[in-house]
Amino acid sequence: MLEIRTEVEPGLVEIAMRNLSESPAFRSSKQCRLLLKYIVEKSLAQQNDLLRERVIGAEVFGRAPDYDTGNDPIVRARVGEIRKRLAQYYQENRDSTVVTITVPSGSYRAIFTQEESPPSFGTVQDNAQEGTQNLLAVETPESKQQDVVVPHPQRSGREPQRPLVTLPRIALFSCLIVVLSLGSVVGFRHHQEERNSGLTKRFWAPFISSAKPPIIYIGANYFYRLSNDYLKRYRKTHNIEDTVPASPIVLTDSDVVSAKDLNWTHSYTGYGDVAATARIVSALTEFGSKYDLRYGDDITISDLHATPAILLGGYSNLWSIQLTQGFRYSLGHEGKIIDRDDKTKVWRVDSQNDYAIISRFDAKTAGFVLSIAGVGAAANQAAADFVGDPDRLGKFLRQAPNGWEDKNMQLVLHTTVLNHVPISVDVQALYFW
């Protein structure tokens, strides 16, 4: 049984941080690495006063000390992304992790836990005393200069015996094998990383090489707000003073809300769209590309003319739905993805599974378009991470047909969800034309 320890040596935390920084989950996002490093350092030093949202925004992201966190949720978005990347990393490296770093929801303080195996029973010397023959015995002063001899079973007792294998030679040979193996692995990984980066750059080429900066358009949801007159009547009937800050409106079956008391708006942006936007902005920034951020009604068809666009959001993004209308894979009613060419294929979301459609295509009448349409919020985040991660995207593109750069493409992406956080992704279907 494993023992869980919450008091962890800083040196082990440093090793865990180095492994995280070098992992695919964090290597592709400099901002996430810097933010996690800041959180871990301040948590180890127990400087909780420096782990407040406004302080983090100023120290890590260069915001003004008195900036409005309500209008600029960069810290909440990035910390949410870190939680997701940590969950993904530990899901993929569960058996090789000694120290686990987590940032619980509702806090910006890191928690460190360590798993320790129970002490082993018996030692080499104990086994030797029990009669176990141990060729690699513990070295003593008397045996320090002696070779370990493995006698041939058919040799005569009179025939001089020669040492066949010695410990120093074994150690030297083993070290040589390890060095050559590590060199091959590192060289192969470096080659793959370079290749993945090249493929990723070709994927993003229409957006980062355009004369005009790409438009990033975030979808918005329609929702209703209660009118001020209704709120005044509600406060009066429930004896709530006007000086009391806004409180939840709890409606019962006897409460009646007329149409004139409901004002609809098209300006609500969900967390999944915000997190996806942060990931796409990070990817474009790493390429040194500028961008034009839009949301709500702040976009027209003329804006998209000859300008590349990145459309984020599924049901919330009407432009994405309109421009991909008639494509093979599309969003269906009641939270599902359908295949127009194969009516038997349907991907439905549930509490543990979410899906997204990634479409990269030449809109002809507009510019080049990348659409990330998640059925749910988790899928939006996962799909944005997928196209922003050179390792994952590169691995997928290595299997793409020749000339894929000039083809339109669609893929259906599945993500496993844990506590509303995407922790793994896989490609369910793809189509080029």
Considering the domain architecture, whether residues 229 and 305 belong to the same structural domain is answered as no
Considering the domain architecture, whether residues 285 and 410 belong to the same structural domain is answered as yes
Residue 69 predicted with pLDDT over 60: yes
Residue-level pLDDT at 9: 84
Considering the domain architecture, whether residues 332 and 417 belong to the same structural domain is answered as yes
Q: How far apart are CA 50 and CA 68, in angstroms?
A: 17
Considering the domain architecture, whether residues 253 and 325 belong to the same structural domain is answered as no
Residue 344 predicted with pLDDT over 70: yes
Residue 403: band (very low, low, confident or very high) from pLDDT cuts 50, 70, 90: very high
**pLDDT tens by residue, 134-179:** 333 333 334 334 443 434 444 444 444 444 444 455 554 454 444 4
Considering the domain architecture, whether residues 318 and 341 belong to the same structural domain is answered as yes
Mean pLDDT across the stretch 257-273?
79
Considering the domain architecture, whether residues 22 and 89 belong to the same structural domain is answered as yes
Residue-level pLDDT at 131: 38
- The percent of residues above 90 in pLDDT, for the chain, comes to 34
Considering the domain architecture, whether residues 293 and 238 belong to the same structural domain is answered as no
Residue 67 predicted with pLDDT over 90: no
Considering the domain architecture, whether residues 9 and 68 belong to the same structural domain is answered as yes
Residue 183 predicted with pLDDT over 70: no
Mean pLDDT across the stretch 392-406?
91
Q: Of residues 214 and 167, which shows the higher confidence score?
A: 214
Residue-level pLDDT at 267: 65
- The percent of residues above 70 in pLDDT, for the chain, comes to 76
Least confident piece of the model among 119-123, 131-135, 314-318 = 131-135
125 within some domain: no
Instruction: Provide the 8-state DSSP code for 87.
Output: H
389 within some domain: yes
Residue 243 predicted with pLDDT over 70: no
Residue-level pLDDT at 358: 97
Give me the chain's average pLDDT, please: 79
Q: How far apart are CA 134 and CA 287, in angstroms?
A: 58
Residue-level pLDDT at 95: 65
Considering the domain architecture, whether residues 427 and 299 belong to the same structural domain is answered as yes
Residue 374 predicted with pLDDT over 90: yes
Within a 10 A sphere around the Cβ of 142, how many other Cβ atoms? Answer: 7
Residue 37: band (very low, low, confident or very high) from pLDDT cuts 50, 70, 90: very high
What residues have CB less than 8 Å from 137, skipping those under 6 apart?
A: 124, 128, 143
Mean pLDDT across the stretch 176-192?
46
pTM value > 0.75: no
169 within some domain: no
Count up the domains in the chain and report the number: 3
Residue-level pLDDT at 171: 52
134 within some domain: no
Residue 68 is part of which domain span? Answer: 3-116
Per the rule left: phi > 0, alpha: psi between -120 and 50, beta: everything else, 239 is: left
Residue-level pLDDT at 270: 74
Residue-level pLDDT at 304: 81
Q: Are 305 and 367 in contact (CB under 8 A)?
A: yes
Examine the fold and report which residue of 116, 147, 177 is the final residue of a domain before the chain moves on.
116
Examine the fold and report which residue of 116, 135, 168 is the final residue of a domain before the chain moves on.
116
Residue-level pLDDT at 232: 85
289 within some domain: yes
Mean pLDDT across the stretch 365-369?
81
Considering the domain architecture, whether residues 205 and 245 belong to the same structural domain is answered as no
Considering the domain architecture, whether residues 388 and 248 belong to the same structural domain is answered as no
146 within some domain: no
263 within some domain: yes
Q: How far apart are CA 231 and CA 202, in angstroms?
A: 54
141 within some domain: no
Least confident piece of the model among 19-33, 63-77, 232-246, 399-413 = 232-246
Q: How far apart are CA 37 and CA 17, in angstroms?
A: 8
Considering the domain architecture, whether residues 42 and 88 belong to the same structural domain is answered as yes
Examine the fold and report which residue of 79, 101, 116 is the final residue of a domain before the chain moves on.
116
Instruction: Provide the 8-state DSSP code for 48.
Output: G
Mean pLDDT across the stretch 67-72?
83
CATH code, 403? 3.30.379.10
- For 171, the 3-state DSSP assignment is helix
